[in-house]
Amino acid sequence: MQFSDLIGIGKLGGKEADGFYPVLVKSDYRPILLNIRDVYLIFNSDRVFFVTISEIEETGRKLRIKFAEDGIDEERQKHREVKIAIPKQESSKSLPESVIGFTAFFEGRNLGKITGFFHNNAQYVLEITDTQDEEILIPWVEHYIGKIDSDKEELTLLNMNELLDIQ
């Protein structure tokens, strides 16, 4: 793999006492990071580590990760900035088109099938059609988008109480 085959999705902070690293991730890529386990850490143009995320901790908007490998903290201390990257083909999974046809769930309840999406000049919006052919519109933002399970073709939604009460 070439350096040009990677796309930066965020930055890695310094290791905390409990072994977790705080991360800043571009909002479009947050759902991807929550659903993959292997990433690249770019320390500079000639130092790239391929690592496995062993744990993810999400508290509100804060995200922290722990790695399976050792030696990351030692290398991290030598560099001012560490970028988190994924292969470019993984980044295409961050677009709403990657979940067309998936079933949308909220708190275990089947909301319907994802039938389309559009851009409203601010963000992408998913179109979900329920069993009564009613359309539910969900912004494609990290506040609402949870786990994407490509194997089961399921999307778990978050924080939907207010949006579902409107209907």
The 10s digit of each residue's pLDDT in 26-51 is 877 887 787 788 999 998 767 899 99
Share of the chain above pLDDT 70, in %: 92
Alpha helices by DSSP H, listed for 4-137, are 30-35, 72-77, 88-91
Return the CATH architecture of domain 3-93: Beta Barrel (2.40)
What residues does CATH 2.30.30.240 cover in the chain? 96-166
- Mean pLDDT confidence for 114-132: 86
β-strand partners of 62:
59
Q: Exposed (0-12), middle (13-18) or buried (19+): which is 77, by Cβ within 10 Å?
A: exposed
At residue 164, the pLDDT reads: 78
> Cα 135–124–34 angle (5° rounding)?
100
Residue spans of beta strands (DSSP E) within 46-142:
47-59, 62-67, 83-87, 103-106, 109-119, 124-129, 135-139
- Mean pLDDT confidence for 85-109: 80
Q: pTM above the 0.75 mark?
A: no
Residue 18: what are its φ and ψ, rounded to 5°? -85, 5
- 33 vs 7: CA distance, rounded Å: 13
Nearest to 149 by CA among 87, 99, 92: 99
What residues does CATH 2.40.30.60 cover in the chain? 3-93
Least confident residue range of 3-12, 101-110, 151-160: 3-12
At residue 29, the pLDDT reads: 81
At residue 104, the pLDDT reads: 94
- Mean pLDDT confidence for 77-98: 77
Cβ contact 6:82 at 8 Å: no
For 96-166, the fitting CATH number among 2.30.30.240, 3.40.50.970, 2.60.120.10, 1.10.10.10 is 2.30.30.240
